[in-house]
Amino acid sequence: MKDRFNKYEDNPLLGSVYRYFKQNLGILTAFIVLCIILGLAAPNFATVNNWITILRTVSTTGMLAIGVTLAIMLGGIDLIAGAMIACSGCLCVVAMERLGIPMAIAILLGILLGIGAGLLNGVIIAYSGIHPFVVTLAMQSILRGAAYLIANGQPVSLYVNEKFPIIGTGSLGIIPYPIIYMLICFLLLYLLLNKTRMGRYIYAVGGNATAAQFSGINIKRVKIMVWTISGVLASFAGIVMAARLSSGQPSTSVGAETDAIAASVLGGVSMYGGVGGAGGVLIGVLVIGVISNGLTLLHVNSNWQYIAKGIIILLAVYLDMIRQNKKKARSE
């Protein structure tokens, strides 16, 4: 049976599909089982409108998970996601509402904030040797404080621009723009990891940094690039969130990085580095969204969602540890 299916691996059309299902069989099976259970328990779960709601809700988590995935693949972490959403959203809205800056320039300022914070994280991590957890935790605090300073400690509603909210609330047919943004980002992640030299470098550095260095890869450049990308994605997610809310919220998205990390490790990204892919992470994002949505439809206290996500992270990391130990045992 195994040989029967292996023949598809070299097929140019079916090979990618076969490898995807082969690599992500576990998380796909869990996702399908979860959907069946929730579909039976909550009648409204399987409706088109509910699935659009799920996808729109997880679109922010999806964009954040991409940046977090790249950082984890290097054996690091990025914790600025939630704070960057708040800071870039507040900066963009305040620039338009209080300073009269045109929308395009305000959005550019938000993106530049993401580039600057991500670049600074990458440079510090690459050249100082400080662990990414400490660097990004410090930047998280800086960005959250900056968000409150920019907004004077309170939400800033947007009244002067009627086009900006469309970025977060508009749709293409029945598909909201945020879903489209997320899918485009995942497509770019796939292309980055599978079709570019930088993608090969990320796998190499995450798998064995010493060997990668000896092979001539500029490890510092790879790290700077990865954390810069993560910063840009988080800032863009913040702009989209501000557009959806028509306001800048300095207290928004506290703990958003937790969902992003959970989606990444659920999607098969190894906390040891060097392992991960766009398809698995996308399924991980959907699992997080389905769990939250299902618990809401079943009228379960929302506080249980935090407990569920914490348990998911622990189980995913534990299973990853088992896989890595088995892989190490086979190689010895």
In this prediction, residue 19 carries a pLDDT of 73
Sign of CA dihedral 113, 269, 57, 181: positive
Q: Which residues pair with 171 in a beta bridge?
A: 176
pLDDT value at residue 15 = 63
Residues 29, 35: Cα–Cα separation, whole Å: 10
What is the pLDDT at residue 12? 58
**Closest Cα to residue 287, out of 10, 92, 38?**
38
Q: What is the pLDDT of residue 311?
A: 84
Domains of the chain, by residue range, sit at 47-321
The answer to whether 277 and 72 have CB atoms below 8 angstroms apart is no
Q: Quote the pLDDT of residue 22.
A: 74
**pLDDT value of position 199:** 95
* Reported pTM: 0.91
Two tokens, residue 127: 């050249």
What pLDDT shows up at residue 16? 67
- How many C-beta atoms surround the C-beta of residue 195 within 10 A? 10
CA distance 100 to 111: 18
- What is the pLDDT, as a whole number, of residue 325? 76
Residues of the chain with pLDDT under 50: 1-2, 5
Spatial separation of the C-alpha atoms in residues 73 and 66, rounded to whole Å: 11
For domain 47-321, the CATH architecture is Orthogonal Bundle (1.10)
Q: How far is it, in rounded angstroms, from Cα 101 to Cα 104? A: 8
192 residue type, one letter: L
Res 1: pLDDT: 45
**DSSP track, 149-163:** HHTTTS-EE--S-SS
